[in-house]
Amino acid sequence: MTILSVPIFKQLLILMIAIWAIAVVLRRIGLPTIMGELIAGILIGPAVLGLIEPNEVIDVLAQLGIFFLMLHTGVETNPREFITALRKSFGIATIGALVPFLASMSIALLFGFSLNSALFIGITLTATAVVVTLKILKDLGLQNTKLARVIVASCIIDDLLSLIFFSLILSVVKSEEISFTSLLIVGLKSTLFFGVIIVVGYFIYPILERPFRKSNGKGFTFLLILGIGFGLFAELIGLHMILGAYLAGLFFREEVASKALIRKVEDRLYGISYSFLGPIFFISLGFHITFDAFTNSGILLLVTLVITCAVVQVISAGGMARVAKFSKVESLTIGIGMVGRAEMAFILAAIGLKLNVISDAVFSILVFSTFILNIIASLGLKGASVLLKRKAKIID
């Protein structure tokens, strides 16, 4: 061990103490632990106490946290149930993406931002937080319900649509014309990705099933290979790695592996995802918060964006859920479930900052907006879960 590694382990010790304390306190009072993790990130990060500074090691651990959270969720999801939820979710996701995008962009224009800046603000506050939402649902014990599958499917479609919007916005920013050809290329990339994944998952993967028929099979290692491979393929064609990780876990099913092996893999993934790397990711989100950008106009922009985004998200997604014949409480839950913003929003905002389309101050406001939206989603889903249980509407 070198001397240079000691500060990293000190920071890791602080992170693990925070994770453990949050879990003990919040679970005892029945609140989602993600709330505490986000707040802890602000407190121990540069914004307040400065105990931990963002660094490459923590960033790598956080990125691995996203990967393992999505991989674990995929393993826990039945492919047939996901496809069924996907069919019900398309309208919810489409309207749930379009309306917040137009609303956020309009607010930015009203505040005097250029069209390019407004487009980036709009797209940043459109992409939903699949990982954050999954963690909240897990904390509330809703992860294996029909509503959870619909929410997750809606968030995934929303993020795909956000990536398509983003490719078009990038064309506008770079002064390229939006043509039928550019739209076709984006569509073909998405189709190619899902086509290849389906072929591998349904036809090639089962051929390799022999090592996975016993509980001592190397299923965990193979699943990591598959998840990283799918994720890199997604990145290669312009999608996000977490989509590949989720789909890799989705195909690790009982038709391929024994129940005992699946349980073993789930246990390992759960420990890594929810007791180590996953919480580090959520805490690290708080490290990006800075209070320097909050002048009077900055605070007004922040409040307006947060309130508008939350309200229109619930109304648009929840309204489409009602059209899809979900009950009022279920529709409200679906709408609230799509309010969270995180990993994709940070990526898009960071690209806007790098291209000088948005300033450091706007970047900070967008980061803080996503933080508050996650708190709203966490508290909202907690309240919705109480209503669902009261009305006995939770259906596995």
pLDDT digits (tens, 9 = 90+) for 163-176: 677 766 766 666 55
Total tally of structural domains belonging to the chain: 1
54-58, 239-243, 272-276: which range is least confident on average?
239-243
pLDDT at 314: 93
142-151, 193-202, 283-292, 343-352: which range is least confident on average?
343-352
Higher pLDDT, 65 or 129: 65
pLDDT at 108: 93
CA 223 to chain centre: 21
Q: What average pLDDT does this structure show over 185-196?
A: 74
- Look up the domain containing 34 and give its range: 3-390
Cβ 129 vs Cβ 343: under 8 Å: yes
pLDDT at 170: 67
184-to-162, 178, 180, 192, 355 alpha-carbon distances in Å: 16, 11, 6, 12, 25
Please tell me which of 14-18, 248-252, 382-386 the model is most confident about, judged by mean pLDDT: 14-18
Structure tokens belonging to residue 177: 């014309």
Asked if the structure places residue 302 within a domain, the reply is: yes
Q: DSSP states of 81-124 as a string?
A: HHHHHHHHHHHHHHHHHHHHHHHHHHHHHHTT--HHHHHHHHHH
Measure the CA–CA gap between 370 and 382, rounded to whole angstroms: 18
- Residue 341: pLDDT band with limits 50, 70, 90: confident
Asked if the structure places residue 351 within a domain, the reply is: yes
Asked if the structure places residue 396 within a domain, the reply is: no
Higher pLDDT, 161 or 178: 161
- Residue 14: other Cβ atoms inside 10 A: 16
Cβ 45 vs Cβ 385: under 8 Å: no
- List all residues 6 or more positions away from 104 whose beta carbon is below 8 Å from its beta carbon: 121, 122, 124, 125, 126, 305, 308, 309
Asked if the structure places residue 197 within a domain, the reply is: yes
Whose CA is closest to 337, among 1, 119, 96, 37? Answer: 96
Over 50: is that where the pLDDT of 395 sits?
no
Asked if the structure places residue 395 within a domain, the reply is: no
Measure the CA–CA gap between 174 and 119, rounded to whole angstroms: 13
Query: What does R_g of the chain's alpha carbons equal in angstroms?
Result: 21
Please tell me which of 96-110, 192-206, 249-263, 277-291 the model is most confident about, judged by mean pLDDT: 96-110
Asked if the structure places residue 373 within a domain, the reply is: yes
DSSP state of 3: G
DSSP state of 159: H
**What mean pLDDT value characterizes the chain?**
80
pLDDT at 2: 47
Cβ 137 vs Cβ 148: under 8 Å: yes
Over 90: is that where the pLDDT of 303 sits?
yes
- pLDDT above 90: percentage of residues in the chain: 10
Over 80: is that where the pLDDT of 1 sits?
no
44-58, 149-163, 341-355: which range is least confident on average?
341-355
DSSP state of 202: I
182-186, 209-213, 282-286: which range is least confident on average?
209-213
Over 50: is that where the pLDDT of 385 sits?
yes
pLDDT at 396: 47
Asked if the structure places residue 116 within a domain, the reply is: yes
CA 149 to chain centre: 14
pLDDT at 22: 85
The predicted model scores a pTM of 0.70
CATH assignment of the domain containing 331: 1.20.1530.20
Amino acid at 144: N
- List all residues 6 or more positions away from 87 whose beta carbon is below 8 Å from its beta carbon: none
Helical axes 219-236 vs 259-275, angle rounded to 10°: 60
